[in-house]
Chain A
């Protein structure tokens, strides 16, 4: 089946390979100056919580110089969706569309074995590609991870073990969508929609709760104190810990400005303090493993449903 899978999917696999090579080159070209600047300006000595003098200028300069590239790299979250759309969805839909499943499924291999071998071989290739990509991103983003951490969604979702997990989930989802809808285009659209929905739901609803967040209440905002953590909420509370609405905060600041007092001082004098809840940066790998586990489990469940569906559905 390895040859069959290769013969039927070689275009997708070669395009995938070309994409990885292109991204590796792009990472090299954009990453090397970034690494050089990082070394040259000795940014490692400025990593929070260090407070060497002049660090804020150096850091701000570095961020404004290279921040744009990091934002662009954020689009890498789309790659797993492409795997689902262009490899997963057509896997069955194209056969059903062209009637070739009547050819493929009436050879000696049972269709369960046919489906499993093809999907698992592709899953292997996809995993390999995703791991390589993830490793490239980890090398490339390393200077920024030091400054900003990789716990926030922007850094968390494009590196580590979640990347192959997302890709496997998208692949599985695409295959099932193709089996159910029997049309490539429809299956591709559904795959994209469901993938985005599930990814968002997990990131928004589940990930903040993998471990209970830590809380900290402090007088003022210490710059850089939680730069590398994933700050879930950041709000003002009064002396007894009640939440202060932003409208009240605005009003207080306005009041201070009219009275020509430093607003920060004024808020402190009211006994107001800043309450943070956050996921600390050192939970990165724990969170990575939990999230990857969720998506791999989803992928396996979807594959099981597909096998069941293909076995019993009329053709």
Chain B
């Protein structure tokens, strides 16, 4: 089984600015991938490249084993919901489904139907709520029975309840289709809930990639007295350093066990880990870390 999405040194430049640079990754089959990153980190660019809406400036990519720019037919196996779920506003729900049927030879009405239970065919798209609209867009994306599903900021305009409902529908749908899913979001909490694989982008580069367990098991928080830092046994790299008063907290990547008794070693949750990677190297204004669960953000 090949990876449904492979990128090798992919870069995309808009005029002078690189939106994505030197991006190398392989998404495992049937994974639920959280594509995290701050606004402007390159998430939409990465998805745009994957569906062939954009052409890479450098590097090469394979979607379901093929280059989406050279063989756009591969898009039949990719379900994509762009940011803000663009649909034809003047269409009704029925028109939209008919459009999807007309433009997708492999259309499966029964898959799409599950998302449309509470929508009536005569409703205009422009009159739908954000949640209903997202469901309709998802119905179109999954009704073509894709092997790879890409969602760009799907929760952005949804209230928490609608977001949860959307996520539930999505998970039911993809488990039935046995599809791989990539969810791009800047809200880490959304991603953390469902993802078993993480790709973190920052300033157009891949900062972190791996399965959730792998990432958690290779990172630790070290807390101890402030001191000049040298090598710590078992630590591969110090990712972030934060001192408050006489105490110091380190986020480290480990390659063994940290046994140094002068550090207290804690596991870090996925959400905190991602936020720590997204945060700038030096955080302004030291704060005392909370007891028990250490946080890296405000």
Contact = CB atoms under 8 A, between A and B. Distances in A.
Nearest to A104: B103
A214 to B, nearest CB: 55
A4 B102 contact: yes
Nearest to B146: A108
A111 B100 contact: no
Contacts of B48: 315
Nearest to A102: B82
A109 B87 CA distance: 16
Given A4-B99, A108-B104, A100 B55 contact: no
Contacts of B283: none
Interface range for A: 20 to 34
Nearest to A314: B54
A110 B75 contact: yes
B40 interface: no
A103 B86 contact: yes
A314 B55 contact: yes
Contacts of B104: 107-109
A116 B80 CA distance: 22
Nearest to B44: A102
A1 B100 CA distance: 11
A114 B53 CA distance: 14
A98 interface: yes
Contacts of B106: 108
B100 to A, nearest CB: 7
Given A7-B91, A7-B99, A111 B72 contact: yes
B107 to A, nearest CB: 8
Contacts of B88: 8, 100, 103
A50 B102 CA distance: 63
B95 A7 contact: yes
B73 interface: yes
A315 B55 CA distance: 9
Given A107-B75, A110-B75, A312 B55 contact: yes
A104 B80 CA distance: 10
A112 interface: yes
Contact of B103 (A98, A109, A112, A312): A109
Contact of A105 (B53, B84, B100, B144): B53
B89 interface: yes
A107 B144 contact: yes
B51 interface: yes
B105 interface: yes
A108 B99 contact: no
A3 B102 contact: yes
B102 A112 contact: no
A110 B73 contact: yes
B76 interface: yes
B98 interface: yes
A108 B55 contact: no
A106 interface: yes
A106 B102 contact: no
Nearest to B72: A110
B12 to A, nearest CB: 9
B51 A106 contact: yes
Given A4-B99, A106-B53, A109-B103, A99 B82 contact: yes
Given A4-B103, A98-B89, A111-B72, A106 B82 contact: yes
B100 A107 contact: yes
Contact of A102 (B53, B91, B100, B144): B53
A112 B84 contact: no
B78 interface: yes
Contacts of B53: 101-102, 105-106, 314-315
A314 B73 CA distance: 18
Interface in B72-124: 72-73, 75-76, 78, 80, 82, 84, 86-89, 91, 95, 98-100, 102-106
Nearest to A113: B72
A103 B100 CA distance: 10
A110 B106 CA distance: 14
Contacts of B95: 7
Contacts of A101: 53
Interface in A1-60: 1, 3-4, 7-8
B5 to A, nearest CB: 15
Contacts of A312: 55
A114 B98 contact: no
Among A8, A106, A109, the most chain B Cβ lie within 10 Å of the Cβ of: A106
B214 to A, nearest CB: 31
B82 A3 contact: no
A259 B288 CA distance: 116
Contacts of B89: 98
8 contacts: A99-B84, A102-B86, A103-B140, A106-B78, A107-B75, A107-B100, A109-B103, A110-B73
Interface of B: 14, 48, 51-55, 72-73, 75-76, 78, 80, 82, 84, 86-89, 91, 95, 98-100, 102-106, 137, 140, 144
Given A8-B88, A103-B137, A108-B104, 4 more contacts: A1-B103, A103-B140, A108-B76, A108-B144
**Chain A to chain B: the 10 pairs with minimum beta-carbon distance, closest first:** A108-B76, A107-B103, A102-B82, A110-B72, A106-B80, A315-B53, A108-B104, A99-B86, A103-B86, A109-B103
